[in-house]
């Protein structure tokens, strides 16, 4: 089976257990598909974490959209603010579609590289979870 992960990965959906291991909660948007990856079309998630393909209401693969959300999450955890901001959802979506977040100077080059790959506007060029584990 292919699980099209959470689709609502965000800081508020992470908990720490007694060993300080991270647990992801709230699988309300999660879907399970058959043996092959299935494109989805449901517009869902939290706006600041939404991948461009969701913002643009295009069909998308869940793992690719989740990788974008994980990139946003990592950015928030390292920097303390969102990579894309807007006074309205429309402005936020426009900035998401432009991509290219600005990193403070104190962020290590390796972290910038990883986050930039995770926030690639082309969902097919984002790393898989295996890529992240192997390369970083």
Query: Taking a C-beta distance cutoff of 8 angstroms, is the pair 61, 124 a contact?
Result: no
How many Å apart are CA 86 and CA 29, to the nearest integer?
A: 24
Query: Taking a C-beta distance cutoff of 8 angstroms, is the pair 6, 30 a contact?
Result: yes
How many Å apart are CA 103 and CA 100, to the nearest integer?
A: 9
Q: Enumerate the active-site residues.
A: 8
pLDDT in tens, 1-36: 445 465 678 888 888 899 999 888 777 666 666 556
How many Å apart are CA 29 and CA 6, to the nearest integer?
A: 6
* Domains of the chain as residue ranges with CATH: 2-124 (1.10.510.10)
pTM of the full structure: 0.86
Position 127 pLDDT exceeds 50 = yes
pLDDT in tens, 30-88: 666 655 677 877 777 789 999 999 999 999 888 899 899 999 999 999 999 999 999 99
Q: Who has greater pLDDT, 5 or 130? A: 130
């Amino acid at each position: 089976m292919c699980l099209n992960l959470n689709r609502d990965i965000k800081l508020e959906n992470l908990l720490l257990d007694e060993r300080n291991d991270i647990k992801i909660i709230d699988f309300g948007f999660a879907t399970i598909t058959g043996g092959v990856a299935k494109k989805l079309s449901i517009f869902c998630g939290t706006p600041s974490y939404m991948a461009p393909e969701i913002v643009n209401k295009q069909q998308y693969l869940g793992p690719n959209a989740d990788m974008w959300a994980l990139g946003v999450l990592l950015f928030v955890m390292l920097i303390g603010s969102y990579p894309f901001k807007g006074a309205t959802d429309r402005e936020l979506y426009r900035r998401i579609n432009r991509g290219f977040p600005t990193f403070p100077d104190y962020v290590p080059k390796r972290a910038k590289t990883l986050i930039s790959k995770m926030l690639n506007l082309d969902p097919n060029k984002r790393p898989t979870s295996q890529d992240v584990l192997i390369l970083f």
